[in-house]
Amino acid sequence: MIKGSKNPNSWRSRGGIGSSAIHLAKNRGAFVATTVKSVDKEFVQQLGADEVIDYTTQSFDDILQDYDAALDTVGGETYRKSFKVLKKSGIIVSMLEQPDLNLMKQYGVRSTFQFTETTKERLTKLTQWIDENDIQVYVEKAFPSSEAAKALDYQKDDHPRRKVIIIM
């Protein structure tokens, strides 16, 4: 969640989208709240998260209020609860849920669905952000292209906490 100078919330921010969102928001002066398991608390604090909630023991909608924006990478009940923590005219960007018009009307909040489409312009901007250390990519394990199947198995079976990459 973002608060103050456009404060964001980002749910379960240990992954690539969430960790990048923390970097981008903090580099723009935002106060960031997020939810993760306790094992990932230190990691997201190092990224710059100001408030970290363990979603396995606490419900963020009981703790947070008056945020400007939320990034939903979880969907379902998490998406629905996000409306409660935003101020009127706040916005939820969901990677999984189509906007719920009833909840938007009930809470006076905007909602949008973000489908990420790769374009040359977006990749150029992403490269610029990486080059400027605006965002960082956290790699858990790298595999040569000859072991691509092994990389996919590792991703599926070992539940990595960071990115698994295949070097071409």
Q: Tell me the pLDDT tens digit for each residue of 122-145.
A: 889 888 988 888 777 788 899 999
What does each C-alpha distance from 12 to 43, 45, 70, 117 come to in angstroms? Answer: 12, 13, 12, 22
Please tell me the predicted confidence (pLDDT) of residue 64.
94
Please tell me the predicted confidence (pLDDT) of residue 145.
95
Print burial letters for 95-120: b (CB count within 10 Å at least 16), e (below 16): bebeebeebeeebebebeeeeeeeee
Q: pLDDT class for 56, splitting at 50, 70, 90?
A: very high
Instruction: Indicate the average pLDDT of the chain.
Output: 86
Q: pLDDT class for 12, splitting at 50, 70, 90?
A: low
Domains of the chain: 2-113 (3.40.50.720), 138-167 (no CATH)
Q: Is the pLDDT of residue 15 over 70?
A: no
Q: pLDDT class for 3, splitting at 50, 70, 90?
A: low
DSSP, residue by residue, 123-149? HHHHHHHHHTTSS---EEEEEEGGGHH
What's the one-letter identity of residue 3?
A: K
Q: Tell me the pLDDT tens digit for each residue of 108-118.
A: 999 999 877 78
Please tell me the predicted confidence (pLDDT) of residue 137.
79
Please tell me the predicted confidence (pLDDT) of residue 150.
94
Please tell me the predicted confidence (pLDDT) of residue 116.
75
Question: Cα(152)–Cα(164) distance, rounded to whole angstroms?
Answer: 8
Residue that is written with structure tokens 């924006």 in the block: 69
Q: What is the mean pLDDT of residues 50-75?
A: 93
Query: Is the separation of the CB atoms in 33 and 67 below 8 Å?
Result: yes
